[in-house]
Amino acid sequence: MDLKLMKAPDLASQLSKADWLISFPGSLEQKRLAMGCGDCHSLERVAKSKYDAAAFLDVIKRMRTYTNGSGPSRPIKRVEVNDGVGSGPREPERPEAAQELAQYLSTLNLSSVSHWKYPLWTLPRPRGEATRVVYTEYDLPRPETQPHDAVPDSDGMVWYSDFSSLYLGMLNPRTGEVKEWRIPEVKPGVTPAGSLSLSFDKEGNVWVGSLFQGAIYRFDKKTETFNSWSAPREYNNSQVRTSMVAPQNSHVDGKVWFSNNLANKRIHRLDLATGQIETFDPYGESRREHSVYCIASDPMNNLIFCDYVGSGIGEINAKTGKISRYPTPSPGAWPRRGSLDSQGRFWFGESAVNRIGMFDTKTKEFLEWRMVNPWTDPYDAMLDRNGDVWTGGMVTDRVIRLTPSTEIQFTTALGKRVEYLLPRPTQIRRVFVDSSATPVAFWAGSNLGASIVKLEPLE
């Protein structure tokens, strides 16, 4: 077939957030702050705007009054006052940082020019193995839905949490049918945002961590009913975020771990038999420089957690309560989400340094693998049955499959990488790989696209 190709007349509409960040002039620090604008919407909106620096400053102040679960179709105003502690390293905490960001953004947009003065660049398009793949995308019934975690259960049903609204959803991939349940409020009058992490216990019950509700929820699939447990009163304040819950090994000792981040930065443990809740303080007086994000439990129900702001991995011994912390090899790595494999290795995304990390809970040693393309922003990581590690992020609209090697070159490990370009803009947070499927199936929520995405590699 003889095809004659021409340049795309509107390349800007095809750019991912990563493409915009590559195209933008400026320092790495400036681009990282601009990257935070993409948590709730595209960077094309920034580039095509016509705000000057003064107007942008007002926009930034207004945007900071919205929750992270906001989107263009449903901005969610915070009821609670943001006390300035920030929810992550991208928050401009210095008084002058917002002004600096406003000034920088005004140099990128169309406030003083009719067309951008910088060239537009894209990441390399897929070829070879990266093109031999099947994508299936399931649209969800509510267009404002923000599927944060999307995880299949043992029956093949895919359950998802909604970052923007108090709903729990279930997708039947065989029929495309979607069913949703309203999560009951236990703290009326707070910011009306949704839930974050989603996991199953051994009995197949669904657990979700809420945000502003200050509670964790268990959903019984048989009776279709919820139970909830709230954070202790002294930590159930305006800064409560009970976002993460780890029930996977609660059958070992009858206890469920959950986190309470933002200003509280505590870890709680629920005794299912008594309803009593213990509280662990992993950071003490230094907590402002740290955070608690992802949590996971091992087969003995010991806890592993990510220190997102402080860039480390922590452990809590279930029997003794001893807390241990280990800094990541790369400073400022921002470890976000991760998962344990059967060998006791914790695989996680290092979003700020563009790497996948692995922490061996037996030897307490780390390995890191650098991503090929800039701004990959690995959010989460999971190992499949073939020994490949999968990751994705909020910036590139790409899924990466890494075949890791332990050979070291220039401080990072080597390995083969395949990058799959997704059909539509897809802001990936949690990733899950179903190793029971043939071939293995990658699942993720399209966080700003109101859909669930399935990827099946053909080789």
DSSP letters of 42-65?
-SHHHHT----HHHHHHHHHHHTT
Q: What is the average per-residue pLDDT within 180-186?
A: 98
Is residue 361 packed enough to be buried (19+ CB in 10 Å), middle (13-18) or exposed (0-12)?
middle
Q: Tens of pLDDT along 205-252?
A: 999 999 999 999 999 999 999 999 999 999 999 889 999 999 999 999
Q: Tens of pLDDT along 80-110?
A: 765 444 444 445 556 688 999 999 999 999 9
In order of their start, the domains of the chain are 12-81+89-106 (no CATH), 128-457 (2.130.10.10)
Q: How far separated are the first and last CA of the chain, in Å rounded?
A: 26
Q: Tens of pLDDT along 33-84?
A: 999 999 999 999 999 999 999 999 999 999 989 998 898 888 999 887 654 4
Q: Tens of pLDDT along 29-41?
A: 999 999 999 999 9
Peptide bond into 439 cis (omega under 30): yes
At residue 409, the pLDDT reads 63
Tokens standing for residue 184: 């009951």
Q: Tens of pLDDT along 358-412?
A: 999 999 999 999 999 989 999 999 999 999 999 999 999 999 999 998 776 656 6
Q: How much of the chain, in percent, has pLDDT values that exceed 90? A: 85
Render 209-247 in DSSP notation, one character per residue. EESTT-EEEEEETTTTEEEEEEPPGGG-STT-----EE-
- The side-by-side arrangement of strands in the sheet containing 451-457 is 133-139, 451-457, 441-446, 431-434
Q: What is the DSSP letter of 82?
A: P
Q: How much of the chain, in percent, has pLDDT values that exceed 70? A: 95
If you search the block for the tokens 């800064």, which residue do you land on? 239
In this prediction the pTM is 0.94
Q: Are 397 and 426 in contact (CB under 8 A)?
A: yes
Tokens standing for residue 61: 């102040």
At residue 94, the pLDDT reads 66
At residue 84, the pLDDT reads 44
Render 270-317 in DSSP notation, one character per residue. EETTT--EEEE-SSGGGGGG-----EEE-TT--EEEEETTTTEEEEE-
